[in-house]
Amino acid sequence: MKIEAVSEKGFIDMPKLLSPFVRKEINGQYVCVPKITEEFKWVFTKECMATEKLDGTNVSIVVRGGKIIAVYNRLNPIDLFAKGNKRFAEGILEAVERGYIDLKKLNGQYFGELIGPQVNGNPYGLEKHLWMSFEQIKEHLGFKFWGEFVEELNGLTDEEVYKKVSEVFKGLWSLYKRKRGVKGEVNEYTKFGGLAAEGIVFYRRGAEIKLAKVENRITTLELCKLRRDMFDWFKGEGHAQ
């Protein structure tokens, strides 16, 4: 995914994606409540494309003249030749070898997720690290059911939409894990192990991704996300921000 933006440093951080539902701190946990954020009502319409949110770490590459000239983990520049950074080099090279990225066709900063043995406990069971651009994820890890599911939401109240979406997320399994042959049940007691997906990233179809400032956060209103740990039924240890 490429975001057209310019900073004094020549690169930007991946925007912090918000939730389509309002979130509040309840009993020490920052969770979704049954109220849809006005700017994200498109998530529950045909305007929305839903893709798997991979349980990785955000990495971007900067490409000029068909070559990668910089790599960032959020705002942290990565020296690919420094000790301890092998996972970044391996992940990007693996993406090139698999044909996931064609450097001759790229120019600018592109965002994606690094997954593999040294990332978040390697829930996908990979033997090597792999960087997947968000464009690659959109192309191969889209939740096709979402288009039909949103038709059921027409005319419903925010509370009714929330309840139906919550039920979907209780049993949300990972497309990528299934491709990898991972097995396991998924329900409200499942953390992110087994076949469970971390969540969904929602894209507004045909919309140009622009940066916006919301509640002192740099974000975008053309993308948002929902994770399973954003619901109050999630039984994991705490709720991530």
Q: What is the mean pLDDT of the chain?
A: 91
Across 128-196, where does the E strand assignment appear? Answer: 130-133
Whether the per-residue pLDDT at 228 is higher than 80: the answer is yes
Q: State residue 7's pLDDT score.
A: 47
pLDDT mean over 181-198: 93
Q: Tell me the three state secondary structure of residue 21.
A: strand
Q: Domain residue spans in the chain?
A: 1-53+143-236, 55-140
As a whole number, mean pLDDT of residues 224-228 equals 97
pLDDT above 80 for 79: yes
Beta bridge partners, 204, equal 48
For 102-129, how does the pLDDT look when each residue is reduced to its tens digit (9 = 90+)?
999 999 899 999 999 999 999 999 999 9
In the prediction, which pLDDT does 214 show?
80
**pTM for this one?**
0.91
**Nearest to residue 217, comparing CAs of 4, 14, 58, 5?**
14
> Phi/psi at 194 (nearest 5 deg)?
55, -135
The proportion of the chain whose per-residue pLDDT surpasses 90, expressed as a percent, equals: 80
* Stretch 30-40: mean pLDDT: 96
- Sorting pLDDT into bands at 50, 70 and 90, what band is 10? low
Q: Which pLDDT score is estimated for 217? A: 79
Reply yes or no on whether the pLDDT at 239 is more than 80.
Answer: no
Q: Which is more confidently placed, 235 or 65?
A: 65
d(CA 176, CA 5): 30
The pLDDT, as a whole number, for residue 8 is 46
pLDDT confidence of 216, banded at 50, 70, 90?
A: confident
As a dihedral over the C-alpha atoms of residue 39, residue 2, residue 54, residue 75, rounded to 10 degrees, the angle is -100
Q: Residue 135: is its pLDDT beyond 60?
A: yes
If pLDDT is split at 50, 70 and 90, which confidence band does 74 have? confident
Does the pLDDT at position 191 exceed 70? yes
188 phi and psi angles, rounded to 5 deg? -65, -15
